[in-house]
């Protein structure tokens, strides 16, 4: 089978890219390859389900621009195609005086990024929004919301397939290798070989490996971090109305444990962030020799460990201790008890880790001959997906001379 373009990776970034390419080039045949039987089965389907506002990201960065534009477009998409979502707003709350300078910095970033309607609020105003939260003040972010990212992913793919009967979706179809040719490339899979004139890789947790198979000289490696969630019991759900976030620690590369009302009404608490010994491992004891060797033979991993030693130890302790997890949650909602929470699901985040251990890299998209590679697309990539897809479609037109 021969296609004009092959998109590799069926998470929401691959789906949005497939959709945007097909929309921009309706006459081109495009194939989407996903190694799992279901779309959105890794990072997309196991994230927190939050429509991010763009509050935290460096002004002018790809993350900031694409998150804000992508959020607006995704909300409009969800309305048009009846995807479960709710722009319910969130509070970012400070519980200690030491957090106030960083809260002010976040607020100023939000203002600079043009986040609609954000305001600083008092502890009393926080309680009017979330009555069970104990704080010394916070930030109200009305444009943050929740969405069913799996359903959004499926709808994007359905729309792309409906636009051209020569385009195709291949699930359970793992890309094993790439053979470059002058006129086209051969995509080798576990279900046979396919030809494509151009390739777009949106491979998430496997982004670095597929880039190397395509001949990209890449110094960095993807390192996975598992995030564990707890859920509130039905009896305790009244303690959280919508979304409650802490002021993130500026020295730690994650946003911290938060409360999220999901589109199905569940209330999730989490996630933590611990190094995982298996890139696609969702259990606490999941292990892969290859993934572990890849990560622990890379100096960037050790730099990250040493730079965040105390945080890492605390995260691991909390991963195996319900009591410690609860203690973190009680900083915002002191009335929570052990009986109010029970273990929930887990997700894994892919970080393209620099050799110096830095995790704060922007979205990263690179070009290699007749290929485009999305090498780094951490949060808020799901929120930004349609904007990223549009960006890739524009870049494809230039780089592939379409």
Q: Name the CA radius of gyration of the chain, rounded.
A: 21
Q: What is the average pLDDT across 123-148?
A: 98
With a cut of 70, say whether residue 253 has pLDDT above it: no
Average pLDDT, integer, range 125-134: 98
Strand-pair category, 145-147 with 50-51 = antiparallel
Average pLDDT over residues 294-321: 89
Question: pLDDT tens for residues 31-84?
Answer: 999 999 999 999 999 999 999 999 999 999 999 999 999 999 999 999 999 999
What pLDDT sits at residue 250?
76
Angle between helices 322-330 and 309-319 (to 10 degrees): 110
Mean pLDDT, all residues of the chain = 95
What pTM, to 2 d.p., does this model score? Answer: 0.96
Per-residue pLDDT band at 314 (split at 50, 70, 90) = confident
Task: Indicate the class that CATH gives domain 2-45+150-219+361-399.
Answer: alpha beta
Fold of 221-353: D-Amino Acid Oxidase; Chain A, domain 2 (3.30.9)
What pLDDT digit, counting tens, does each position of 370-398 carry?
A: 999 999 999 999 999 999 999 999 999 99
Cα of first residue to Cα of last residue in the chain, in angstroms, is 20
Q: How many CB atoms lie within 10 A of CB 43?
A: 24
**Arithmetic mean of pLDDT, 115-132:** 98
Instruction: Write out pLDDT tens, residues 156-214.
Output: 999 999 999 999 999 999 999 999 988 999 999 999 999 999 999 999 999 999 999 99
42: DSSP letter: T
**Domain limits of the chain?**
2-45+150-219+361-399, 90-142, 221-353
Nearest in space to 106 (alpha carbons), one of 315, 247, 298, 301: 247
The answer to whether 31 and 331 are in contact (CB under 8 A) is no
Cβ neighbourhood burial of 361 (10 Å; 0-12, 13-18, 19+): middle
| Tally of residues, the chain | 402
Angle between helices 309-319 and 299-307 (to 10 degrees): 90
Q: Specify the pLDDT at position 313.
A: 83
């Amino acid at each position: 089978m021969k296609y004009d373009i092959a998109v590799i990776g069926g998470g929401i970034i691959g789906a949005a890219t497939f959709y945007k390419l097909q929309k921009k080039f309706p006459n081109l045949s495009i194939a989407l390859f996903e190694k799992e039987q279901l779309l959105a089965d890794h990072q997309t389907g196991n994230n927190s389900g939050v429509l991010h506002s763009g509050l935290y990201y460096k002004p002018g960065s790809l993350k900031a621009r694409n998150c804000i534009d992508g959020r607006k477009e995704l909300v409009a998409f969800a309305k048009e195609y009846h995807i479960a979502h709710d722009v319910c707003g969130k509070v970012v709350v400070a519980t200690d005086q030491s957090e106030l300078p960083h809260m002010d910095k976040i607020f100023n970033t939000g203002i600079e990024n043009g986040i609609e309607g954000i305001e600083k609020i008092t502890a009393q105003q926080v309680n009017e929004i979330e009555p069970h939260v104990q704080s010394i003040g916070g930030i109200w972010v009305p444009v943050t919301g929740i969405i069913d990212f799996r359903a959004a992913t499926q709808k994007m793919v359905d729309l792309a397939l409906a636009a051209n009967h020569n385009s195709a979706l291949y699930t359970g179809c793992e890309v094993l290798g790439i053979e470059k040719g002058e006129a086209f490339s051969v995509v080798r899979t576990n279900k046979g070989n396919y030809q494509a004139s151009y390739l777009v890789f949106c491979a998430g947790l496997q982004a670095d490996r597929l880039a190397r198979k395509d001949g990209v000289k890449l110094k960095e490696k993807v390192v996975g971090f598992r995030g564990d969630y707890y859920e509130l019991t039905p009896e305790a759900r009244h303690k959280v109305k919508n979304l409650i976030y802490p002021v993130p620690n500026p020295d730690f590369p994650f946003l911290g444990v938060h409360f999220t009302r999901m589109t199905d009404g569940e209330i999730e608490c989490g996630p933590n962030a611990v190094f995982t010994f298996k890139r696609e491992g969702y259990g606490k004891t999941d292990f892969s020799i290859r993934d572990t060797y890849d990560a622990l033979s890379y100096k960037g991993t050790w730099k990250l460990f040493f730079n965040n030693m105390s945080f890492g130890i605390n995260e691991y302790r909390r991963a195996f201790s319900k009591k410690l997890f609860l203690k973190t949650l009680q900083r915002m909602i002191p009335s929570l008890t052990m009986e109010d929470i029970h273990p929930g699901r887990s997700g894994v985040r892919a970080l393209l880790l620099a050799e110096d251990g830095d995790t704060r890299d922007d979205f990263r998209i690179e070009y290699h001959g007749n290929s485009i590679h999305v090498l780094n697309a951490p949060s808020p990539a799901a929120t930004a997906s349609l904007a990223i897809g549009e960006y890739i479609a524009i870049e494809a037109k230039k780089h592939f001379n379409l």
